[in-house]
Amino acid sequence: MEPIVKTKLALILSLTLSVGAFSVHAAEGGATKDEAVAMVKKGVAYIKANGKDKGYATISDKASAAFHDRDLYLTVYALDGTVRAHGANNKMIGKNLIELKDVDGKAFVQERVDMGKTHATFWQDYKFTNPESKKIEPKSMYCEKLDDTVVCGGIYK
């Protein structure tokens, strides 16, 4: 078999396995990309309609089903890296996490705010602790810029 054909087959197999793994995770009860996008849009609309104080408090309230669904929750970061709202850990609120890195050394908060300064919407990949499994897992975070913040919600892969 020619090297180009082998490479194409390997790529197809890799993509197939990736999609399969994503589908299995979603089937096991994890949130989907569409659900993450919908929740972020809902959060942005809620903050716009109710103001930052009420919006951030509601997003950070774990008892609020509006912004908590299985392993999906919202976070809001100021563009300096300060947490304004956190749906999984309200102890993070008010802390500047610009220096925070994932297990691979990726400065994901710095990357997130940098992307928020130049993009209205974006997806970001990094590793983070899944609140359901309590394990560090690959995560994709969908974010939308809102004024001087980014509102984000992610899925675990």
Q: What is the CATH number of the domain that holds 67?
A: 3.30.450.20
Average pLDDT over residues 7-35: 48
Residues 64 and 96 in one domain: yes
pLDDT at 25 over 80: no
Angstrom distance (rounded) from CA 143 to CA 119: 9
* Range of 20-24, 55-59, 87-91 with top mean pLDDT: 55-59
Residues 13 and 80 in one domain: no
Residues 83 and 7 in one domain: no
Q: pTM, whole model, 2 decimals?
A: 0.80
Residue 37 pLDDT class (50, 70, 90 cuts) = very high
Angstrom distance (rounded) from CA 86 to CA 61: 8
Range of the domain at 64: 31-156
Residues 129 and 81 in one domain: yes
Residues 79 and 149 in one domain: yes
Exposed/middle/buried for residue 102 (C-beta within 10 Å: 0-12, 13-18, 19+): middle
| Per-residue pLDDT at 2 | 53
| Per-residue pLDDT at 78 | 98
Residues 26 and 67 in one domain: no
| Per-residue pLDDT at 18 | 34
Tell me the helix, strand and coil percentages in the chain, rounded to 5.
45, 25, 30
Residues 103 and 121 in one domain: yes
Q: What are the phi and psi torsion angles at 23 (to 5°)?
A: -65, -40
What is the residue-wise DSSP string for 53-73? HHHHHHHH-TT-GGGEETTEE
Residues 69 and 115 in one domain: yes
Residues 2 and 45 in one domain: no
Residues 22 and 51 in one domain: no
Q: What are the phi and psi torsion angles at 120 (to 5°)?
A: -75, -35
Domain count for the chain: 2
Residues 26 and 78 in one domain: no
Average pLDDT over residues 32-54: 97
Q: What is the mean pLDDT of the chain?
A: 85
Select the more confidently predicted residue: 66 or 152. 152
Residue 131 pLDDT class (50, 70, 90 cuts) = confident
pLDDT at 29 over 80: no
On the CB side of 31, CA atoms within 13 Å amount to 27
pLDDT at 24 over 50: no
